[in-house]
């Protein structure tokens, strides 16, 4: 019963998710960000210096507040703590895995325009906040939603947002992040996930029960440390990548930019680390059903597919055997042979131009009837009359040596 329900529900959820992710979310993120960038006259660039000075001008790590509330740095640290965490690490890694290096470029673009959106949200929250008699400050999206949309519709939108954000951050987001932390600690250090959960509860309770001031005091200390760990951790990963896998990180920026708008290139990168074409590999059910199969990048390894794979492997093996046999025959034909190339030289015996591999390959083809790619011919520079030895690579592991006689 449950399996039948899942089978029926999954295509519906997948369709809705693809529609929201591919169209609605992208249009909203970019569209609203571009609109606010234009309306604020590119505030993220125009006011960057002023914002930097205001935020870091009164930086402190002793928990003091600025004026009658948080300092600028405390407010920034609290905002960063709410937006940067395990989701950033897992999210970016997942985006690169499923979207290829080009996903990084689009994250840059959305982040740039998103700064204007964040600025607008913060400004609206300040403009629509209210101060109670006891000095308590209340504000946020619910308040500027009801300010912008009057009547029942505004109340409905505000109520819907309140419920949705409570479910997303209070339950779904927290559960996913707590589970990620617990699973990571258990995998890396062998600490049971339930122990990690209890520790997280104690730490969070200590911070939240202390009110806004304790939250601000903790975040202004933790966020700089977290940023440093992020930065140095990333540099260490890059350093290891450059040292251990130089071929994978060569031209990384070029790949990011080139494949940002290349769907086929993205698909190739997505499966590059899974395996090569024709290989039998293991993939998670979700990744296979949601991406590999719909994109026709892979097929299920059932009896029919396995039989086709065996036939292709047998055909490929036969083709390789034929190529090796032909290469061996050609090697036997030209090995130890001699070709003559006529060239002109000066009075000192030095040729006016060096004998090229192209000329040697042409002579081999003319005399022995064996077509050779000039790139497969290797020899020392021939710049004078005499006899020289050239090596011809006919196949992997199959070579022949030819004497090259240069005469007038």
Question: Rounded mean pLDDT of 138-142?
Answer: 84
Do 348 and 218 share a domain, yes or no? no
pLDDT per residue as tens digits for the range 365-385: 888 888 888 888 888 778 888
Residue 141 lies in a domain: yes
Do 135 and 215 share a domain, yes or no? yes
Number of structural domains, the chain? 2
Q: Domain boundary at 261, 286, 318, which?
A: 261
Q: Domain boundary at 227, 261, 295, which?
A: 261
Residue with the larger pLDDT of the pair 253 and 100 = 100
Residue 245 has pLDDT above 60, yes or no: no
Question: Rounded mean pLDDT of 256-261?
Answer: 49
pTM of the predicted protein model: 0.51
Residue 278 lies in a domain: no
Q: Domain boundary at 261, 279, 309, which?
A: 261
What angle (nearest 5°) sits at the alpha carbon of residue 281, between those of residues 280 and 282? 140
Q: Are 29 and 112 in contact (CB under 8 A)?
A: no
Residue 45 lies in a domain: yes
Do 354 and 205 share a domain, yes or no? no
Residue 34 has pLDDT above 90, yes or no: yes
| Band of pLDDT at residue 344, cut at 50, 70 and 90 | confident
Percent of the chain with pLDDT over 70: 79
Question: Rounded mean pLDDT of 163-189?
Answer: 79
What pLDDT is recorded for position 287? 65
Residue 399 has pLDDT above 90, yes or no: no
Highest-confidence segment of 140-154, 230-244, 296-310: 140-154
Residue 269 lies in a domain: no
Residue 39 lies in a domain: yes
Q: Are 392 and 399 in contact (CB under 8 A)?
A: yes
Question: Rounded mean pLDDT of 302-312?
Answer: 79
What pLDDT is recorded for position 284? 66
> Containing domain of residue 393, as a range?
329-407
Do 82 and 225 share a domain, yes or no? yes
Residue 186 has pLDDT above 70, yes or no: yes
Mean pLDDT, rounded, of the chain: 77
| Band of pLDDT at residue 177, cut at 50, 70 and 90 | confident
Residue 37 has pLDDT above 90, yes or no: yes
What pLDDT is recorded for position 247? 47
Distances (CA, A) of 263 to 101, 102, 124, 277: 11, 9, 38, 18
Residue 301 lies in a domain: no
Cβ neighbours for 249, distance < 8 A, ≥ 6 positions apart: 238, 241, 242
pLDDT per residue as tens digits for the range 218-240: 887 888 888 888 888 878 877 76
Residue 367 lies in a domain: yes
- Classify 224 as helix, strand or coil: helix
| Band of pLDDT at residue 197, cut at 50, 70 and 90 | confident
What pLDDT is recorded for position 35? 93
What is the CATH number for 338?
3.10.430.100
Residue 1 has pLDDT above 80, yes or no: no
- Classify 31 as helix, strand or coil: helix
**Cα–Cα distance, 216 to 76 (Å, whole number):** 9
Question: Rounded mean pLDDT of 35-48?
Answer: 90
Residue with the larger pLDDT of the pair 399 and 82 = 399
**Cα–Cα distance, 217 to 219 (Å, whole number):** 6
């Amino acid at each position: 019963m449950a399996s039948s329900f899942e089978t029926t529900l999954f295509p519906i959820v997948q369709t809705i998710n693809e529609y929201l992710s591919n169209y609605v979310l992208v249009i909203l993120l970019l569209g609203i960000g571009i609109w606010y960038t234009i309306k604020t006259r590119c505030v993220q660039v125009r006011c960057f210096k002023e914002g930097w000075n205001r935020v870091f001008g009164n930086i402190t790590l002793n928990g003091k507040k600025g004026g009658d509330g948080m300092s600028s740095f405390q407010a920034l640290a609290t905002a960063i703590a709410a937006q940067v965490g395990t989701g950033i690490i897992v999210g970016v890694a997942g985006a690169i895995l499923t979207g290829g290096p080009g996903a990084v470029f689009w994250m840059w673009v959305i982040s740039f325009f998103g700064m204007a959106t964040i600025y607008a949200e913060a400004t609206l929250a300040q403009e629509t906040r209210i101060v109670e008699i006891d000095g308590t400050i209340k504000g946020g999206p619910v308040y500027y939603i009801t300010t912008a949309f009057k009547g029942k519709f505004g109340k409905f939108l505000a109520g819907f947002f309140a419920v949705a954000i409570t479910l997303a951050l209070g339950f779904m987001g927290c559960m996913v992040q707590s589970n990620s932390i617990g699973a990571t600690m258990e995998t890396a250090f062998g600490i049971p996930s339930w122990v990690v959960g209890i520790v997280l509860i104690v730490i969070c309770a200590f911070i939240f029960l202390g009110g806004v001031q304790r939250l601000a005091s903790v975040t202004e200390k933790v966020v700089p440390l977290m940023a440093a760990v992020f930065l140095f951790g990333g540099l260490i990963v890059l350093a290891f990548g450059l040292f251990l896998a130089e071929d994978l990180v060569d031209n990384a920026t070029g790949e990011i930019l080139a494949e940002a708008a290349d769907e086929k290139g993205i698909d190739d990168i997505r499966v590059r680390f899974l395996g090569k074409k024709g290989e039998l590999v293991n993939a998670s059910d979700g990744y296979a059903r949601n991406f590999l199969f719909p994109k026709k990048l892979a097929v299920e390894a059932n009896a029919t597919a396995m039989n086709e794979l065996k036939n292709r492997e047998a055909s490929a093996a036969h083709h390789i055997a034929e190529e090796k046999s032909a290469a061996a025959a050609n090697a036997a034909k030209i090995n130890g042979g001699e070709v003559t190339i006529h060239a002109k030289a000066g009075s000192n015996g030095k040729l006016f131009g060096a004998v090229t591999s192209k000329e040697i390959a042409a002579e081999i083809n003319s005399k022995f009837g064996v077509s050779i790619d000039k790139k497969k011919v290797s020899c020392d520079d021939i710049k004078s009359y005499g006899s020289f030895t050239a090596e011809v690579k006919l196949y992997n592991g199959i070579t022949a040596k030819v004497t090259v006689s240069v005469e007038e």
